[in-house]
Structure 1
Amino acid sequence: MQLTVTLVAAARSSTLLDERFDDDRPLDTTGWHGVQHAAPLLAQLAAAELRYCSPTPRSRATGDALGLSPLAQPALRDCDMGRWRGRTLTEVAAVEPAAVEHWLGDPRSAPHGGESLLAFIGRIGDWLDTRPTEDGTRMVAIAEPSVVRAALVYALKAPPSTYWNIDARPLSTAVVTGHQGRWNLRLGGTPS
């Protein structure tokens, strides 16, 4: 049994420098324009039998603007950043530089009081592994870029530190195929 999962990073809700942990802001103007520009390129995603999204406003709005009407999945939420929620990395690093360094260096750490990177990757992997796997089923999941990164680390069974080396830009796609515990990254072509 093989499932094809197209992961779509949600459109932009803020500039990169103003990106905040656990950001619940809706799409900004640039994000809306990006979705309108990408819609023809992503039109084939409408053929997916299963359509999901993160519960964030920007993921829902991205899916709706693409005409997918995705079902929100609580398991696809962003990493729980505890007391850092709503702050930028720069803001946190200015007051807790040692905590930020520890968090970036140890995937088991959660100095913010929320979820560790390792737990986050595991949660996203558990969600991926529990999807229905009828042979040939196509699925799309629109989520925060961090969720896409976590899914790719899990699918590839890569070391958790790989998470920091994946650049999931708004409206970028990645395709994984397989089933529980055995996933492959598919490069090239168009999303299914």
Structure 2
Amino acid sequence: MSGSLHPTRSLPELGLEAYRMPEAEVALRLAAFILSLPGSGAMASVGIDVASIKVGDAVDFDIGRFMAGTGWEPIKEPQVGRNAWTGAYRRGDKTIRVHSRPGEGDVVTQVNGRRIVAECTKGPLVHKPGRAEHSLLTTALGQALLFDVSADDIVVAVVPESPVFRKLAETWRSRPLVRQAGIQIALVARDGAVSGLNVSSSAG
């Protein structure tokens, strides 16, 4: 897996910078990955707020451009009481529905008959001095703990794929309270690959 990672690769056609992955990109790539799995449902719900895509008045992440560049076509729907970036996108027989409702998981979908609820966060792809990755993953785990879920749901804290995030994930997955809570830690790579997500049909 690590051999296919290009942490400094920018994707200018998608409007993406080389050294960081926005939260919206993490969530949309995760949703697309899950929908590609055998046993996945037909639709994934992705929650994106304005802070994830704009810095001030400038658009930091163009959802429409990203979705078009990754093969998702917008579904024309009446625009009633929604933010401009919300809406539905289709690729084949799968749909990603983008909303801005607070208090829900960043990605909610189903696979093998079980609901997946994911808390996603942005992050650097190349490490800089400081503890940004530590803080971001800590926050994602804390948010995931607060989800209103059932015993059979799969709960995931999701971060970008990078050497530092990978090391943290490998260490923290074995921590007693993380294991007891049943929260998975998954990593999303810029090429769309996802590691650390277990979607087996049985609980536990």
- TM bracket (short chain): 0.3 to 0.5
Using the size of structure 1 for normalisation, the TM-score is 0.38
Using the size of structure 2 for normalisation, the TM-score is 0.36
Greater helix proportion: 1
